[in-house]
Copies of this chain bind each other. A is one copy, B any other.
Amino acid sequence: MNTFGRNFTFTSFGESHGEAVGGVIDGVPARFKIDFESIRHDLERRAGKHTILPHSARADHEIDEIEWLSGIQDGMTLGTPIAFLIRNSNQRPQDYEHLKEVFREGHADWVYEQKYGIRDYRGGGRASARETVARVVAGNIAKQILQQKGVTIEAELVQIGEQTNPALFADYLQEMQQQGDSIGGIIQCRVRGLEVGTGEPIFDKLQARLAYAILSINACKGFDYGSGFEGVAKKGSEINGFSGGIIGGISDGTDIIFRCVFKPTPTTPLSLQKLGITAPIRSDVCVAVRAVPIVEAMTALVLVDYQLFR
């Protein structure tokens, strides 16, 4: 289904090349002052602005205006559901005509057609990364609520391909784009200021909800926290309590630290060329770059869902 959360819920709607994408946020307290500039800033980060992406790889044109439909009056929340939409003004279905007969490898088109008996080949329809624009809006509001309680969330790229030196990321991406190729990346996210006690034992452990949220992001292939996958080689006697901020499913008062990995998009100029398609395609040289604010958004949605009702 298209709703995330239990107490603070976010319902997402919209196809990439339909009328609009948007969402309904339910559970926002009344009388909270919304910082619209902060929302816009995260939308810009998602479009590639303020990032290391080569200018030609950015999607600045995608930053349309948000129409607020309900739940806010004079910039203050009413305690009622906040509905918003962002029109797909930038609909360019003609860009995708050449794909009508070709299922893009590694894309969701084929499974969608199998499952629903329908294929919306234009930009992946609902499966498109366009949908994440609504997540960023909702997640930013969640971040604002958390910030008021002293909780901050910051994600950043820590690896691109085999490169782990951030100073070299920009050049690396430039080169990759010149090759018409794409590359994977790892994002690390840190939550500061969370008090002891967020999370539930057994099934709703904090790490379980975070993993669920993060792996719902397109192209994400893995999640770990604390000692993570690298900790496999550690002995019990060496562990020294690097908890990643969570013990027994519950925040322990130290920073939450987790990582997630994003695969390279398989639809690149290079790959299309192999299929004999030369038409231009909008594609990300490294989806992880633009995923950074999405990771923050999903993290915020998880935390606020627990937080509000403690």
* Contacting residues of chain A (61-82) with chain B, CB-CB under 8 angstroms: 67-71, 73, 76, 78-82
Inter-subunit contact B203/A4 (CB<8 Å)? yes
The SS class assigned to the A binding surface is mixed
Q: Which of B6, B22, B116, B241 interacts with A79 by CB under 8 Å?
A: B116
On whether A3 and B203 interact (CB within 8 A), knowing A13-B81, A108-B250, A111-B197, the answer reads: yes
With a 10 A CB-CB cut-off, give which of A216, A233, A253 has the most chain B CB atoms: A216
Q: Closest CB-CB distance, A188 to chain B, in whole Å?
A: 12
Docked complex Cα distance between A208 and B260 (Å): 12
Docked complex Cα distance between A229 and B236 (Å): 23
Docked complex Cα distance between A106 and B234 (Å): 14
On whether A80 and B15 interact (CB within 8 A), knowing A184-B233, A202-B2, the answer reads: yes
On whether A222 and B221 interact (CB within 8 A), knowing A197-B111, A235-B182, the answer reads: no
Interface flag for A249 (CB, 8 Å)? yes
* Contacting residues of chain A (211-249) with chain B, CB-CB under 8 angstroms: 211-216, 218, 220-229, 231-237, 239, 241, 243-244, 247-249
On whether A201 and B248 interact (CB within 8 A), knowing A183-B236, A207-B215, the answer reads: no
Q: Closest CB-CB distance, A33 to chain B, in whole Å?
A: 13
Taking residues whose C-beta sits less than 8 angstroms from the other chain, chain A's interface range is 35 or more
Number of copies: 4
Docked complex Cα distance between A15 and B261 (Å): 36
Residue of B with least CB distance to A287: B236
Docked complex Cα distance between A289 and B189 (Å): 30
On whether A80 and B125 interact (CB within 8 A), knowing A31-B117, A73-B120, A247-B106, the answer reads: yes
Inter-subunit contact A234/B184 (CB<8 Å)? yes
Inter-subunit contact A231/B184 (CB<8 Å)? yes
Q: Which of B19, B31, B110, B229 interacts with A221 by CB under 8 Å?
A: B229
Interface flag for A193 (CB, 8 Å)? no
Residues in B whose Cβ lies below 8 Å from that of A212? 208-209, 211-212
Can you name 27 A-B residue pairings with CB atoms under 8 Å? A1-B202, A2-B202, A7-B309, A14-B70, A15-B70, A15-B71, A19-B70, A30-B116, A78-B116, A79-B116, A106-B241, A111-B197, A111-B248, A111-B252, A127-B248, A181-B236, A184-B227, A184-B234, A209-B212, A211-B223, A215-B223, A221-B231, A222-B224, A231-B263, A234-B264, A236-B266, A237-B270
Supplied contacts A110-B247, A232-B263, 5 more A-B pairs, CB within 8 Å: A14-B83, A31-B118, A127-B201, A234-B263, A236-B270
